[in-house]
Amino acid sequence: MSRPVLLITGASAGIGAACARLAAERYDIALNYRSDQAGAEAVKADCETQGARVILCRADVSKPEDITAMFAQIDAEFAGLDALINNAGIVGQTARVTDLSYARMREMFDVNVIGAILVAKEAVLRMQARSKGAIVNISSAAARLGSANTYVDYAASKAAIETFSKGLSDEVCAQGIRVNALRPGIIETGIHAKGGDPDRAARFASSVPMQRTGSPEEVAKGVLWLLSDEASYVTGTVLDVTGGR
């Protein structure tokens, strides 16, 4: 029996990797990464032990030509595409708005917003041909909170993803395609170190009503639920996985 096919962007570590490992119980996977080949290969190996067929798709989602090549690879390897987890994203160093450069903001929106929209566009084109599909776009609690003095540009990019998710959902729901977003809160991943603040998650744990940080696996469970038939009447919404924050 053939498995449904899932594309996960930014899947070599963190939330994307956790989603891949959980999804491998049910899906065959196109696993995208930009530069961490070793991480991607480790995730691939873990998924294959669960019976998943996995292909590695090296692509920078800020480059339209990379997205085109990635979907050409998926088309060549699989019969179609059933689901997308739009997870690839970046964050800059902690900074105030008055310190932000054009180059930083341009890269942030090229990856987090334009890249995500282009990936979703290509996924929808393939899902339309089958009149079914499910997409989860990964947002952030930052979209609600604003992230003053740290990542206002990142927060703004994630707010854009939430608006896009609602608009796309309304466009395609009559074609059998569901689109939702998910907001992770303070999650223990490497993204904090990339922002120059490796201890951020532990430091902010006390500000979470549940008094702890979350794990990538807890986020992945929410993502996979949104993709599943158990969420068959859920579209155009945003699920908080934030410990109440």
Q: Is 71:94 a contact under the CB 8 Å cutoff?
A: no
CA distance 178 to 120: 12
Question: pLDDT tens for residues 118-133?
Answer: 999 999 999 999 999 9
- pLDDT tens for 132-144 read 999 999 999 999 9
Comparison of pLDDT for 195 and 177, the residue scoring more: 177
Tokens standing for residue 152: 């206002």
Rounded Cα distance, 226 and 221, in Å = 9
Q: Is 187 helix (H, G, I), strand (E, B) or coil?
A: strand
What CATH number corresponds to the domain at position 52? 3.40.50.720
In angstroms, how far is CA 132 from the centroid of its own chain? Answer: 20
How far apart (Å, rounded) are the C-alpha atoms in residues 201 and 199? 6
Name the CA radius of gyration of the chain, rounded.
17
The single residue listed with the structure tokens 């873990």 is 46
Tell me how far apart the alpha carbons of residues 84 and 118 are, in angstroms, rounded to a whole number. 12
Q: Can 154 be counted among the known catalytic residues?
A: yes
Q: What global pTM score does this model have?
A: 0.95
Query: Structurally, how many domains does the chain consist of?
Result: 1
156 pLDDT higher than 70: yes
Among 89-93, 101-105, 190-194, which stretch is predicted with the lowest mean pLDDT? 190-194
Q: Which pLDDT does position 133 carry in this prediction?
A: 98
E-strand spans in the chain? 5-8, 28-33, 54-58, 83-86, 133-138, 177-184, 238-241
The residue annotated as part of the active site, out of 27, 102, 154, 233, is 154
Angle between the N-to-C axes of helices 14-23 and 216-227, in degrees from 0 to 180, rounded to the nearest 10: 50
For the segment 44-75, what is each residue's pLDDT rounded down to a tens digit? 999 999 999 999 999 999 999 999 999 999 99
Domain of 212? 5-241
